[in-house]
Each structure stands twice: as C-alpha cells, then as structure tokens.
Structure 1
Amino acid sequence: MTKKDKAKAYWRENIKYVLILLAIWFLVSYGAGILFKDELNTIKVAGFKLGFWFAQQGSMYVFVILIFAYVHLMNKLDKKYGYDS
C-alpha cells in the first residue's frame, strides 16, 4: 500500500466515524428531544419527563460521550495506519 493509498483509506475511515457519530448525535438531540418527545414523555426519570430531559440535558451528555468515543476511535485508527507517535 502506497503512502497516498494509506492516507486515503485513513481519511475514508475517519469520515465514516464522523458520519456515524453525527447520526447518533442527530438522533439523540433532534429525534429524542423533538420528534419522539411525546412517546418519551410517558417515561419519567428523577421526576422529569424523559423527552424533556433529553432536550435539556441528555443531548449534552451524549455529545460529550461522543467526543470521547471519537478520540478513542481516532487513537485506534492512528495506530492502525501508523500515524501514532
């Protein structure tokens, strides 16, 4: 595998990870907070309706978790393609 092919494969996997994580973020923030809020509001967490909780707090928690997941995935990807120092 040439250096250019390796870089293209690395970038392709990086974009795949970004798109998957963005889809999860969209589903949690827009889906759970807006689209599915009525169904989720039938469930209560610590006295709050779950749809409200996702709209106000849950999407932020998931976003932070996604940041750590991206860092973990990219560290593995760097090692896979030899870009770790």
Structure 2
Amino acid sequence: MNPNNRQAYWRENTALIRNLLIVWAVVSLGMSILFVQPLNTIRFFGVPFGFWMAQQGSIYVFVVLIFVYAVQMDKLDRKYKRKD
C-alpha cells in the first residue's frame, strides 16, 4: 500500500471511530444523564424512557455500534485492499 493510500485509510478509520464515539457520548452522557429528566416524561415499555435508556437502551446502542464498526471497517478494508 502506498503512503497516500495509507494516510487516506487511517483518515477514514479515525473519522469512523470519532463518529461512533460521538454517538456513544450522546447516548451515554446525553440520554442517560444530562437529559434524563425530560426523557422520563415519555413512557417506554411501561417505564420512564430516560431510566430505560440508562439501564437497557444504552447497552443495545453500544452493541449496534460494535456491529456498525465491524461492517464499516470491512468495507474500508476492501476499499483499500488491506490484508493485515
């Protein structure tokens, strides 16, 4: 892999990680801590939504983020023909 492709690959890789970390921060800090009171006015499966996000929803989001990362990195590896 030439140096230009290597830089482009890592630029896209770090952008993907940054974007997924932003989603993680919004879900974990925003929905589960900062905005829990307004979210608790919404009922979800019979419990306040803010509470549900803090206890269950954030875990589901984190698992989805893992799968998104794996799929996107597979596409990125194929795009740049990475083998290592």
Instruction: Give the alignment's TM-score, normalised by structure 2.
Output: 0.94
Indicate the residue corresponding to 1:36 in structure 2.
35
Q: Write out per-residue CA displacement over residues 48-83 of structure 1, whole angstroms, 9 at most, x where no aligned residue.
A: 100001111111110000000000100110111111
1:73 alignment counterpart: 72
Q: Which portions of structure 1, spanning 4 or more consecutive aligned residues, are displaced by more than 6 angstroms?
A: none
Query: Would you say how many aligned residue pairs link Structure 1 and Structure 2?
Result: 84
Aligned to 2:3: 4
Residue aligning to 2:12? 13
Post-superposition offset of 1:84: 5.0
RMSD: 1.3
Task: Mark the runs of 5 or more structure 1 residues left unpaired by the alignment.
Answer: none
Question: Percent identity of the aligned residues?
Answer: 50
Report the TM-score, using the length of structure 1 for normalisation. Answer: 0.93
Residues 7-63 of structure 1 show CA distances to partners (whole Å, capped at 9, x for unaligned) of 111001000000000000100011000111111100011111000011111111100
